Amino acid sequence: MSEVHDVIIIGGGPAGMAATAYAIRKRMDAVLISPGLGGRTNRKLELPWVEDYNVLVGESMVERFRSQIEYLDFLRVRTTVDRIEPREEGYCVVLKDGKELLTRTILLATGAVGEMLNVPGEAHFEMKGLCYSTTTYAPLFIDRTAMVIGDGIQALRAVAELQRIASHVTLVARTHGDLDSPLAARLRSERNVSILEGYEVVEIQGDQFVNCVKMRRDDEMREVRADAVFIEKGLIPNSKLVATLVDLDEKGFIRVDERNRTSRPGIYAAGDVTTAMSDQVLISMGEGAKAILSIYDDLLGIR
């Protein structure tokens, strides 16, 4: 185990794929470690009234990068990283099977996942009318009804987006959360928005697709129908690998500067796992490309 790589990229989503493609162009000695390619872009919401659509503006870009990287076996390791240990040479990346790789720098592009409600029916209807990304799918709701579940600013933003398109939007907020905000006040005045405050979702229901949400407030049980359900409780970053090595914000996102450097020399991060505004394919790809150029400069000693 004497070879020391220039960079190990962890995560094969849009950020990691763009970073890898740029590393190849720069002839860097790079390794991409990820169980698969595409990350969150591999999942697509199915809706009964839509046969096919192309809302994923970055999809064709992802495919182009995928075709560049897919067959480059020398730089791809199809597994997950178990831990990262600082070493004299830089870092040791320990894989799930115990294999160790040495590297001067690391780029974390491990993404984030939508926080779940953990109620019956949620897993069953995921992507069958239920999902965690309103920004992507709101344009498909002309003359349709939608439900947003959550009580923070992210949920209110989702309602605002859908309200301009859908015939009706219902917000189900378990607590008062951000319902005092100016945005909430504006939404309350919209004729096609209902806000159900204090309700806890107990079950997601449907047939082939989601069509109803069962909820409770004190002793009252209620069933509300909708053509689709968006759970907007926030994202949980996959930052555990570096949690004791670099600065994270209060929600666990990795703090990065404008050149994708973390608080620790040699560790960089890009995409949804960072504090930089991301949550879209094209932004994540741009961040991944920027991060690798930043690493390239730092390895050359250009500051």
Residues interacting with ligand FAD, by CB under 6 A?
Answer: 10-16, 33-36, 39-41, 43, 45, 55-58, 80-81, 109-111, 114, 131-133, 136, 238, 241, 271-272, 278-282, 284
User: Shortest gap between Cβ of 128 and ligand FAD (angstroms)?
Assistant: 12
Residues in the chain: 303
Burial class for 204, CB neighbours closer than 10 Å (0-12, 13-18, 19+) = buried
User: Shortest gap between Cβ of 200 and ligand FAD (angstroms)?
Assistant: 23
User: Shortest gap between Cβ of 111 and ligand FAD (angstroms)?
Assistant: 2
Half-sphere exposure (Cβ direction) of 256: Cα atoms closer than 13 Å: 29
User: Shortest gap between Cβ of 166 and ligand FAD (angstroms)?
Assistant: 18
Pairing of strands 193-197, 168-173: parallel
What gap in Å lies between CA 92 and CA 67, rounded to an integer? 29
The count of other CB atoms within 10 Å of the CB of residue 89 is 12
* CB closer to ligand FAD, 216 vs 259: 259
User: Shortest gap between Cβ of 299 and ligand FAD (angstroms)?
Assistant: 22
Q: What are phi and psi of 270, to 5 degrees?
A: -150, 150
Helices (H), the chain: 14-25, 59-69, 122-125, 134-137, 153-163, 182-188, 281-300
User: Shortest gap between Cβ of 138 and ligand FAD (angstroms)?
Assistant: 11
* Eight-class DSSP state of 21: H
* CB closer to ligand FAD, 42 vs 175: 42
Burial class for 112, CB neighbours closer than 10 Å (0-12, 13-18, 19+) = buried
* CB closer to ligand FAD, 145 vs 284: 284
* CB closer to ligand FAD, 131 vs 159: 131
Report the DSSP beta bridge partners of residue 229. Answer: 130, 147
* CB closer to ligand FAD, 121 vs 237: 237
What gap in Å lies between CA 161 and CA 232, rounded to an integer? 13
User: Shortest gap between Cβ of 303 and ligand FAD (angstroms)?
Assistant: 26
User: Shortest gap between Cβ of 28 and ligand FAD (angstroms)?
Assistant: 19
The count of other CB atoms within 10 Å of the CB of residue 279 is 15
* CB closer to ligand FAD, 198 vs 234: 234
* CB closer to ligand FAD, 147 vs 281: 281
Q: Write out the H or E segment, with its range, that includes residue 9.
A: strand 4-10
**CA dist 116 → 100, 128, 150, 201, 279 (Å):** 33, 15, 10, 12, 17
* CB closer to ligand FAD, 40 vs 184: 40
